[in-house]
Structure formats: C-alpha cells, structure tokens
C-alpha cells in the first residue's frame, strides 16, 4: 500500500475491509520513517514497540466490527504533549529525560478510539520559534527542500505529514505554530478556538494563547481529528463548556453567498508578491464558486507582533519559572541554591528560550509593567474589536498564512526580530482566540508551497473547514520528492 500523503479516510477503508492489518499499516509507516527521517529529522522519539502493541489491540476491535474513525490509525504527536510512559522533552535539554506519569486529555480521547502512536515529533524548544531549528535534539528540515526550514514550532509534525511519515499529527499553536509550518510544508492545519480543546497535559508556553490542533493532508481529516479531541474537560479551567458539533457537518455544502473578507493590511508590501498573488487568485476562484468577496481594513495589525510577544513572553517567563533543577528539569551544579538554579537554567535552556524569559521578566518588572504589558493587553482588546467589526460584514476572513514561503536554514539566525515579524499574519488569531485553518493555495517557481489562512468566528470551525475543503476540491497538491 502506498502510504505517501494517504488520507485517514482511505486508511480507515483499507483497515475495515481487511486490505491491510493495523500491524502491517504500522510497519509501512516505520519503513518510511527509517528510510526518510535520517534526512528529515522530524521525530525526536519513535515508539515502535508501543505502536505494535497498540496495533494489536486495535486489530481486535476492528475484527469485532467495532472500529471508531481512528481505530488502528497511526498518528504522530508533538513532543510537548504528555503521554504516559513516553519521553516528552519539549525539544529541550531541560526535559531531556522526562517521562510523564499521565496522559494529556487529548491522548485519553485518542486512546478511547484506539489510535496507534508512531512517535513524538520535533519542535522549537518549548514551542518558542518559527523554524524548528531551536530544537535541542532534531532540527527538522523541509521535505520540499532539505536546505530550508519546515516552519515552527510544530515543524516536526508538519514535515512528518508532508513526507508521508504519518497520515496526521497533533501540534500546538501559540502564535501560528500549527498554521505556519502547515503552510511551509504544504499540508493542512487548524488552530481551533481557544478552549475548544483541553490544554491539560500540554506543557505550557503562554497559557492564554496555547491551543492543541491537528495537522493532516486535508480539511476533512482535520475535521475527523477535531471530532476526536474536542470537548469540555474538568481538568482544564480554560476549557470551554460548549456543545461540540460534528466538525464535518458543513463539508461538501456549497459556499454560494458566503462572504469572505480580505483585510488590506494582510496584503501589504511586507508580504512577498508571489505569496500575495496566490492568495488573491484563490479568493477569485472561491468567488467564481459563489462566495462574495468583501474588502475591509484591520489597522491594529501593525501593533499585533509587539503586543503578542509582550503577552506571550510574560506568560512564558511565569510558566517556565518552575524549571529550576530542583522541582523540575535538568539539574546543574552549584554550592548554593542560587548557583544551582543559575547553572541549571543556563545549561538546560537554549538561547531563544532564555531570550524570551528575559523579555517577559522585563515587561513584568516594576516600572515597565504599565508601559509595556498593560499596553499589550489594551491592544489585545482593540484587535478583538476589529475582528468583531469584520465579522459583522463577513462570514470568514482570508489572508496569507505567512508573508514568505519557507526560508533557508540559518537565514534568520542572527536576526530574531525578523523571525518574530514573520508571525504578522498569524498572531492576531491567537490574541482574539479565533479558529483558523491553513491550506495550500499554490507553489512558488522553485516548488515551495504557499499557504492561505481562513479565519472564522469563535467556535465556528465548521465554516472555516467548509471553505478550506471547497478550495481543496479544486486544487491538485504536489507531494515532495523526499
């Protein structure tokens, strides 16, 4: 069976028809991992023994005719999501040998369906970065060009799906960390509404922004995974106690009359002309299929990146303060308490994590809290208001996912501000707690994928998936040659 870019629905059909067993399917993916991952470096931990045990249990359920949508389906999981008994590193030396004694809420939900774990995928350290090059263990490469980054922080998950090393994967998104790598790697990824998916068991970066979501080959598979992982969780105080719909309920329905907004600020000179053109061409195609295009403005976008980084880094400084070498994490050396903590954090954290902790502590310090952090919170409210105004005249918003296609490894290593500004198209979604999906809308002259984002109202994932699926039905993706 050819597993490259095979969707979950096809795998489900093959498993239920006994065309292939769960163990055999698992074996096919491990062959692919063994062949390609030494070049791609998308996994930190491969769980072959556990996967075969999971597959055996899943096969018994399939044989009994009781399979759920994900029974026997191999999946990858980002390495900041806790799995009982499986090493979870957050791609950091600080947690190099950490083995959680419990499952994240999303893993419990996947276990209930009988999924098969392929392994834990690489990421930027503690999800801080946009390239997966800050990983302490596996600096993932882009399957379309091994000299380029896969995006981040969920770059390992996106690269694994794009290269056929997993049919789908879980990632996490704090400021675009599902959508941007999905764009760079030519796959589909959705960041759900904040609170839609439990964060219990997700190692925190910025608690008011983080959200778990799926990366897959298309919008239909994303809907299928959302059906599995969403729902209220009493273990998570930020989990939304709202009804969970069938996220595929609108898929396949016509988009005639649906209003799509195009905020002019997202199509400024900061976006590469080729990227801009592919997204605008996609909007015209959706218009031909019955959608109504609406011009609008979002002036607050120019403040989005500084507001986001002030909020995210402030929360990161608080969340990561627990890693001191005593209560949690890598233990350094020192004759005194202060020396021990200093050595543990100096050697346990990478440069990007240290940079953001310093920025966060600075923003929260006496004398600067009002000048920076409080202003960022005020800008957050302004951005929310601007989105509400746009949704008063439109059903969804269409933007580029990233201002450029995947850039070369090392290209932005000496300019962190340039890398931060690359998040301009994604961070407002997290600030406003909205759902958004990124799907491929074209390719550059040298074959690199270009992604577009479809943003919806809070808890309206069904509409953004409907529009993404409508676009994908008329688009022929190009698989990487890896």
For 441, the enclosing helix (H) or strand (E) is strand 436-443
Residues 6+ apart with CB under 8 A from 262: 280, 283, 293, 294, 295, 296, 397, 398, 399
Joined tokens for residue 418: 């340039």
Burial of 236 (0-12, 13-18, 19+ CB in 10 A): middle
Calpha distance 58→73 (Å, rounded):
9
Do 168 and 144 meet the contact criterion of CB atoms below 8 Å apart? no
Do 231 and 244 meet the contact criterion of CB atoms below 8 Å apart? yes
Q: Is there a catalytic annotation at residue 481?
A: no
Q: What angle do CA 435, 440, 443 make, to 5 degrees?
A: 150
- Residue 120 vs residues 156, 187, 248, 280: alpha-carbon distances, Å: 9, 18, 27, 36
Q: Which of 122, 153, 239, 248 is catalytic?
A: 153
Q: Is there a catalytic annotation at residue 344?
A: no
Do 158 and 184 meet the contact criterion of CB atoms below 8 Å apart? yes
For 61, the enclosing helix (H) or strand (E) is helix 48-63
Closest C-alpha among 167, 168, 225, 158 to residue 196: 225
Q: Which of 154, 157, 177, 239 is catalytic?
A: 177
Q: Which of 78, 139, 250, 276 is catalytic?
A: 78
Q: Is there a catalytic annotation at residue 366?
A: no
Enzyme catalytic residues: 78, 153, 177
């Amino acid at each position: 069976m050819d597993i490259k870019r095979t969707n979950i629905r096809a795998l489900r059909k093959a498993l239920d028809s006994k065309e292939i067993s769960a163990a055999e399917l698992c074996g096919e993916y491990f062959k692919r991992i063994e062949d390609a991952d030494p070049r791609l470096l998308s996994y930190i931990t491969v769980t072959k023994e556990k996967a075969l045990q999971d597959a055996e249990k899943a096969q018994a359920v399939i044989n009994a005719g009781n399979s759920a949508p994900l029974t026997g389906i191999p999946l990858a999981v980002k390495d900041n999501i806790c799995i009982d008994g499986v090493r979870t590193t957050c791609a950091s030396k600080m947690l190099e040998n950490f083995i959680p004694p419990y499952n994240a809420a999303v893993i419990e939900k996947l276990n209930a369906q009988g999924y098969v774990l392929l392994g834990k995928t690489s990421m930027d350290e503690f999800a801080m970065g946009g390239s997966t090059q800050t990983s302490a263990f596996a600096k993932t490469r882009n399957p379309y060009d091994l000299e380029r980054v896969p995006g981040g922080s969920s770059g390992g998950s996106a690269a694994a799906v794009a290269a056929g090393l997993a049919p789908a994967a879980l990632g996490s998104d704090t400021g675009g960390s599902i959508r941007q790598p999905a764009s760079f790697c030519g796959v589909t990824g959705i960041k759900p509404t904040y609170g839609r998916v439990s964060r219990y068991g997700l190692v925190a970066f910025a608690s008011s922004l983080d959200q778990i979501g799926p990366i897959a080959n298309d919008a239909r598979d994303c809907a299928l995974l959302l059906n599995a992982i969403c729902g209220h969780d009493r273990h998570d105080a930020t989990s939304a106690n709202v009804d969970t719909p069938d996220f595929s309920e609108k898929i396949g329905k016509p988009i005639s009359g649906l209003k799509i907004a195009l905020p002019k600020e997202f199509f400024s000179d900061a976006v590469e002309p080729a990227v801009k053109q592919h997204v605008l061409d996609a909007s015209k195609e959706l218009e031909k299929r019955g959608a109504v295009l609406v011009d609008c403005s979002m002036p607050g976008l120019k403040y989005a990146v500084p507001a986001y980084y002030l909020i995210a880094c402030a929360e990161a400084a608080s969340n990561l303060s627990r890693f001191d070498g005593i209560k949690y994490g890598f233990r350094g050396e020192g004759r005194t308490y202060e020396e021990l903590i200093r050595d543990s954090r100096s050697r346990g954290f990478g440069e990007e994590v240290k940079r953001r902790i310093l920025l966060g502590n600075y923003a929260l310090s006496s004398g600067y809290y009002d000048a920076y952090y409080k202003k960022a919170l005020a800008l957050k409210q302004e951005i929310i208001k601007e989105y509400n105004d746009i949704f008063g005249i439109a059903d969804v918003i269409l933007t580029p996912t990233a201002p450029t296609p995947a850039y070369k490894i090392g290209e932005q290593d000496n300019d962190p501000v340039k890398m931060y500004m690359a998040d301009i198209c994604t961070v407002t979604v997290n600030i406003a707690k909205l759902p958004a999906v990124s799907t491929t809308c074209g390719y550059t002259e040298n074959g690199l994928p270009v992604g577009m984002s479809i943003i919806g109202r809070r808890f309206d994932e069904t509409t953004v998936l409907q529009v993404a699926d409508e676009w994908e039905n008329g688009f022929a993706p190009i698989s990487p040659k890896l």
